[in-house]
Amino acid sequence: MKNLALALPVLVLALPAQAAEPTNMITMDGTCESLVVDGDDLSADCKDSVMQVIYDIGRVGLYAFAGEQIVTFSGTSDEVIDNEIHHQLDQVVLGVTGSDPRSVPARGTCIYENPYEGAPARFTCEARAKSGASYTLSFVTDGATPEDIMAED
C-alpha cells in the first residue's frame, strides 16, 4: 500500500471535473490479473494494489496502477445483485504521473465481491468508449481487510 500513498498527489489531479471531494480512500492489496487500456496490455506492469475512492457527490472510482500510469473506472450508479456490487461506469480516467489526466466517456460495469468477508474478493471492470476503445481490469484481493486511509484513528 506504500505505492498508493505515493500516488495520492496524482489522485488529487485526477478528481472528476465536478470538483468533488473524496470522503473515503480504500486501499486493497492482492493480485492484478489483467489491465488492458484501448488494446494496450498493461498487465505485466499492473501493481498488486488498487484504491477505491468514494466522493461526496456519490461518484466512485476504482484506481489501478501500472508503472507511471493510473487508470480509473468511474461512475455514480450502483446496485447490489447476489451479494455483489454492480457499479455502472460512465467514464474511464487515464493519467500518467506528471501530466494532466484525460477523461474518456465510456459505458460499462465494475463488479465487486465483498472484500470485508476475510476471503479473497474479485473486482472486475469492463468499459467501452464510443470510439470502440475498451478498458478492462481483473483484480483479486488477498483477503485482508481493506484500509480506509482517510479514516481517523
Give the domain ranges of the chain.
Answer: 2-9+24-143
Question: Rounded to whole angstroms, how far apart are CA atoms 93 and 63?
Answer: 9
Does the pTM surpass 0.95? The reply is no
Contact 38, 4 (CB under 8 A): no
> Span 50-76, mean pLDDT?
94
R_g (Cα) of the chain, nearest Å? 14
Per-residue DSSP letters for 8-74? HHHHHHTS-TTT--EEEEEEEEEEEEEEEETTEE-GGGEEEEEEEEEETTS-EEEEEEETTEEEEEE
Q: What is the pLDDT of residues 74-132, one digit of tens each?
A: 999 888 888 899 999 999 999 987 788 999 999 999 999 999 999 999 999 999 999 99
Tell me if residue 84 falls in helix, strand or coil.
Answer: strand
Tell me if residue 77 falls in helix, strand or coil.
Answer: strand
- Return the CATH number of the domain spanning residue range 2-9+24-143: 2.40.160
CA torsion angle for 107, 113, 116, 121 (degrees, to 10)?
Answer: -110
Cell of 118: 476475510
Residue 149's pLDDT band, with cuts at 50, 70 and 90, is very high
